[in-house]
Amino acid sequence: MCNATEVYPQCFKKFKMMIWLQKHISKEHPEYKKEIDLKRHRDCAEDDQRPCKHHVQPSYAIFQNHDSGPVQSVCNAIDDAPLEFSDCQSPDFASTLTYQNASLPCAYVPQEGECITSSDDPYYPFANEEEFNFAEVVTAKGLAGSVIEALLKGDCSLKDDLKHSLKSNYHLQNKIDQMEDRLRVDSWKKSRLEEITWKEQHAKEPIEFWYWDIIECARWFVWQPAYAEHLSYVPQQRFDEQGRRVYSEMHTADWWWERQVRISSAALQHHVQSCLRCADSNTDPARRQRYRDTDDLHVQCRPSYEFLQR
């Protein structure tokens, strides 16, 4: 049991998990955030004495690093990847090893129709902040259409500008529909399986299904402003003060790092470019398909900018 009084004497709340206490402090008493981070770090050091599977904190585990040292072991594993050893980025971790050349912004010119240009006005399609806030409140609270209608048309001490601009529930819903979102309802795609049915007698009922393009879904995630603080693009290796590896998020595990090493290797990239160019220029469709359909990672990985822009 974690008591909030240990961090902030005037708060008497109790939490089962340290992470919940941390969330509460950072939300309600942000000025005490540093104290809670220090406390969590201290508790983690105490918990080191126990076996890993008895750790009480969710999504947070510390494992012993049996290698001679973090920097040496990583540098031996990959020679071509430049590394950066930064000091004390977070109070939880004494040091963080970051894969330096990953996630660099690139000068890519979107093709026509590919990129949705964002308006400079953050409240678009609403005229101002008040309208946006009104729409947000009535949507988030799930107010019935008749109530919104009454609010906008009745005498509810709303500003005249807002009433004239939004007009009615119908117009408000239209504006909400105009809000920019890549995955709109109309972006669902319908597909059917050709020449295959559940049974022979179901020949007249083709198997149909609706789906979203999975790559578009991934684009949507990295584009959403709501996730801006929670996204990480670079694989990291985190170590505590004793030099032991700390695993918490997915990008701090080995899997991501190994993938990044594989797709970043310059020699491999050259090989892939030649493979893909060969596949692209080859007129034999079966051979081209074989190159593209292969699940071998060495051929999957990324082609050059020129190849993609062609």
Partner 1 sequence: MSNAAHLTNFSSDKKAWSVYMTIGNLSASARMATAMHSVLLVTLLPIAIKMRDIPLSQYNEQKEHNRMILQHVLHHILGPLIRADLRVFFAWCVDGHFRRCVATPAAWIADYPEHRDLHNIKNSVC
Task: Tell me which residues touch partner 1 (CB under 8 A).
Answer: 19, 23, 59, 103-108, 110, 115, 183, 191, 193, 196, 198-199, 202, 207-215, 217-228, 230-233, 248-251, 255-256, 259, 263, 276, 291-295, 299-303, 308
Quick one: which H or E segment has residue 176? helix 169-178
Taking the least distance from each CB to partner 1, the nearer of 170 and 255 is 255
Q: Least distance (Å) from partner 1 to the CB of residue 276?
A: 7
> And the tokens for 149?
């209608």
Taking the least distance from each CB to partner 1, the nearer of 138 and 272 is 272
Q: Least distance (Å) from partner 1 to the CB of residue 17?
A: 12
Q: Least distance (Å) from partner 1 to the CB of residue 54?
A: 20
Rounded Cα gap, residues 123 and 290, in angstroms: 48
Taking the least distance from each CB to partner 1, the nearer of 30 and 225 is 225
Q: At what angle do helices 266-281 and 254-264 cross, to 10 degrees?
A: 60
Taking the least distance from each CB to partner 1, the nearer of 75 and 116 is 116
State yes or no: cis peptide before 70, omega within 30 of 0.
no
Per the document, the length of the chain is 310
Q: Least distance (Å) from partner 1 to the CB of residue 225?
A: 6
Name beta bridge partners: 84: 98
Taking the least distance from each CB to partner 1, the nearer of 152 and 279 is 279
Which residues lie below 8 Å from residue 86, measured CB to CB, with a gap of 6+? 95, 96, 97, 98
Task: Tell me if 81 sits within 8 A of 101, measured CB to CB.
Answer: yes
Q: Least distance (Å) from partner 1 to the CB of residue 253?
A: 9
Please tell me what DSSP assigns to residue 251.
G
Rounded Cα gap, residues 153 and 241, in angstroms: 63
Rounded Cα gap, residues 94 and 237, in angstroms: 11
Taking the least distance from each CB to partner 1, the nearer of 259 and 287 is 259
Q: Least distance (Å) from partner 1 to the CB of residue 272?
A: 8
Task: Tell me if 99 sits within 8 A of 81, measured CB to CB.
Answer: yes
Taking the least distance from each CB to partner 1, the nearer of 73 and 248 is 248
Q: Least distance (Å) from partner 1 to the CB of residue 230?
A: 4
> And the tokens for 133?
């806030």
